[in-house]
Structure formats: C-alpha cells, structure tokens
Structure 1
C-alpha cells in the first residue's frame, strides 16, 4: 500500500515552462448533457483548465450550447449531439488527448453510442457518474475499457459496475476496500479510483494507493453536489498535460482533498477550481 502525499516529483510535473505553448499542455474535451443539465460538465471543464490543461472544450448537444456559452468564457464549445459528432471532432483534431465523460451526461441510448465512440479511439478518458452507470447497464461497453481509462466511482457506482466486489450494508474495512479496488482494476484493465473518506486508487497489477482523509474534518465537506465532477475534471486536465493515468488519478485526488482542507465548512463545488492557484503557489509550482 502507498499512502499518497505531494512529493517533489509530483509538484514538478504540474509546472509549465516559458518555452511551451498551450498545446504543449494538451487539449481536453468534456462532454455535457442536455440543457438544464450542463452544470456538472462545466465544473469539470473549469477544473481541467485550472489544473493546467492548455485548451479545454465542452462538447454539448445543440440545445445546451447557449446555456454553456452564458457561463463559460475561456472554455471553447463544440456541438456533440450524437456519436458521429464526436467521431468527426476527434478525427479532425488529433490534439485532443483527454476526454471526460459522465458528469451530467445522461443515460439515453444515444449517450451509450457516444461513449462507445470515445472508447474506440483509445484516447485517455475519465469515466464518472452517468458513464459508469451506462457501462453497468451495457456490459459490452465495459469490455471496451483500456489502460488509458480512469474510472472514478463512489460506493453505489462501484457496486453496480463491479457486482460482488462492492461493500455491503456493514461497510468495508480499508483492507477489504483495497482488495476490491485492486480486483476491479485488474478486471477492467483500467485505473480505478474508489472514492470515499479513504480513497483507494489502483492500476492493473500495481500496488494500491490510499488517500486517507478520515482525520481531516474539512475534507468531509466534499460531500456536496458537484465535488466529484471537479475531481473528474482535475484528473482530465492532468491527463491532457501528459501524465500517466495512475499519476493523474493520484495527483488529482491529492489536489481535490487539499483544496477542501483549505476551504473547509461551507465549501461548495464551485469553490474548488478557484482554490487551485493558491495551492500551486503554496506548493511552489
């Protein structure tokens, strides 16, 4: 087991150099759900931009584009109403190297087709929320997972996605959660970040990393709507910067918890991305 901490090596990969331009830090695409359900994707997109992705785009259905435009300035917009839209965007722009699918995404059949098209490209992708539910409902989608995927389930999503591995009504010990996370990573062939007060992160065949925030009362305030969407966005931005999936998951989880530790009681998800610059200054990024 590895206990997560922000090491000098992790700080170093967060830096930008003066001889680099925006596309040296990657291009992330966050997929949104329909109008009135864009907030989660917008939170994820802002987190991806704050953590250092050079370019971030929200792909949204046509009816949701005005809503996104009313809230976003430094984040670009593209229409993604069906799988063909996504396939064309990814074919024409090879610079897009990280995707985020799930926050506020939706569970309609068309969304399953979009997810299938994304996985077929083999590009780095964070799968959260509705994307995990879609895979639990359609096991053929599950078989398309690959080593550049990061899954970020909470307990309920984990149970649905990995039947028989999730905790029962009496909860898990940490050792049991570590074992379940490792087995889930091995089964899926992807990185699995199992959220909670003791977050466990595993890649196939690698030791489980643990972020234990049970003794940090401020971090408990992450139990608020949208906080998981911000985590998904942080990981996506780090993937865009070129980090390996396991590195992106571990550093994203650390930054997420560090932001909550500073903000504490009363924090809401919208507060978290704006905390990243202060954390970076404190870390010497």
Structure 2
C-alpha cells in the first residue's frame, strides 16, 4: 500500500492518497511493527496502538514486554503477535521496520526507550516515553534521529522543552524538531508536524470528539503502522494526523478509542485511488 502526502500552498495537510499494495504483496513485504506493552493492569493503551498499526496496513504487528503483561494481552488480541523480552530487546531483529513505545508504559520506561533507540529502528515516542525524561531532555534528544517521531501534547512538550515558547506552535514544533533531530508532532486543535530540516505542516482536519482517553494511543499506532510500511517519518506523521482527524469527524458523539479502530478501514477507503489510474499494482 502506498501513500502520498498532500498539502496546500499554505502548508495545510489535505486528504492523503492511497494506492493498494501490488498483486504480489505478502505480510512481510508490508512491514513489521513492534509495540512495547504496558505492565499488568496497564496494557490497554499499547493494545490500542498495536491495533491501529495493524488496521492501517502493517503486515505484522507484535506486542512485546513482560510475560505477565502479555498474558493479559493474550486475552484481548488475536491477529497481533506477542513476544516476551527483557531489556536486551533481542526480539527486535532486522525484519522489524518500526517500533512504538510510551502508551501505558509507566514512569520507569527510560531504559527501555534508550535501548530501543539504540537499535536504529524508526521509533515513535509518545506519552511516558517522553515524560520519563522530564528534567533530562538532553539525554532523549541526544538519542533520537530524523527517522524517529515524538508525539507530545502541550503538557508533554513543556516538560521536554520548557524553554521553547508555545504561543506560536509552528515555531515551537520546528525548534523542538531541530533540537531533537527527529520529527515532532505537536498535538492540539491544530496539530503541527515538523522535521529537523525545517519542513512543517499543520493538520486542521480534526474534531473535538477526539478529546477522549486513548485517542493519542491510536494516533501513535497509525504513525507506527505507516512507518512500518516504509513511509518516511515526516510523511507518516502528517498522513496519520489527517487520518486521525477523519476518524474523529466520522465518529462524532460517543466516539471512544475502542471504536476508533473500526473507523480506520472507512477512513482508508475514503483515501483510496483506483489502481487502474496508476497502473496495476503501482505504488506512489
């Protein structure tokens, strides 16, 4: 499955374009995403991320973590695989094409974050993976690369970048991306996506119905699933921001993170281009 980022001349993200996978695609060619599970009784957030990564097109998705947490996960997932791991993360081999860590991970996640980043697999950092470095942001920013994505809301952002003013969110996202040398997606009613090279786009296709617990975990999974398929980090974050907003617009009142997953196929279908327009099995 191929994606292209569409934006207006003013830097606003528009509906992305999607082309079906080639006829000879298989699950391994569509990428393998791995998501760090939260501990026992805190597994829901990472499960939402894993489900979103699978729904957006990653060929394989694995939840990794402690055995006790994975036993809890096993009662709730089927197509998503489970891998027990310690801090060596030996299960993250050269077939893994993206990782996500942070949703429901807990405050003691620093070592896991730094170890995953050292494996040079494109990584999406959210929630606890960011706030765990409050007071020591230089350690995190020294480990991230242009292939990684941070997804802070304004509270997370102020903990990591307390000296960067946020009255101008576009400038704040750009400065943070330059400092961390990774893509920064600053969540809000207008979500700004910035790259270390100075590029920045804004997503205004959103909805107040997204203000619900677990919504950000779904966004993390969307980015992770897109990166797993080979979409560059900046494009993946931009596309995911629009898709996430469209889920909110379609879901409307009573939208919850649990039922956001069921809207992903409808959102993707709305972005689908007839493969015949591009040649059989072509990619963008």
The residue correspondences of 1:95-134 to structure 2 (distance < 5 A) are 95-108=95-108, 111-134=109-132
Give 2:18's match in structure 1, choosing from 11, 27, 45. 11
Give 2:195's match in structure 1, choosing from 203, 213, 228. 203
2:170 corresponding residue in structure 1: 178
**Contact (CA 8 Å) 2:141, 2:179: kept in 1 or not?**
no
Please provide the CA RMSD for this pair: 1.3
How big is the shift at 1:142?
Answer: 2.6
2:264 pairs with 1:276: yes
Q: 2 CA distance for matches of 1:267 and 1:202?
A: 28
2:74 pairs with 1:69: yes
- Describe the shift of the 1:137–1:97 C-alpha distance in structure 2 as closer, same or farther (beyond 3 A): farther
Give 1:247's match in structure 2, choosing from 216, 226, 235. 235
TM-score relative to the length of structure 2 = 0.89
For structure 1, the 5+ residue unaligned runs are: none
2:255 pairs with 1:267: yes
Q: How many residues align?
A: 263
Q: Which has the higher helix share?
A: 1
How big is the shift at 1:137?
Answer: 4.1
**Contact (CA 8 Å) 2:42, 2:104: kept in 1 or not?**
yes
1:89 corresponding residue in structure 2: 91
For structure 2, the 5+ residue unaligned runs are: 1-9, 274-284
Q: 2 CA distance for matches of 1:35 and 1:166?
A: 37
**Contact (CA 8 Å) 2:107, 2:128: kept in 1 or not?**
yes
How big is the shift at 1:60?
Answer: 2.1
2:244 pairs with 1:256: yes
Instruction: Map Cα deviations across residues 211-238 of structure 1 (whole Å, 9 max, x no partner).
Output: 124xx6xx10111100000000000000
2:48 pairs with 1:43: yes
Q: 2 CA distance for matches of 1:103 and 1:155?
A: 16
Q: 1 CA distance for matches of 2:134 and 2:120?
A: 20
Q: 2 CA distance for matches of 1:129 and 1:189?
A: 19
2:55 pairs with 1:53: no
Instruction: Map Cα deviations across residues 12-46 of structure 1 (whole Å, 9 max, x no partner).
Output: 3xx32221111111000000111100000000000
TM-score relative to the length of structure 1 = 0.89
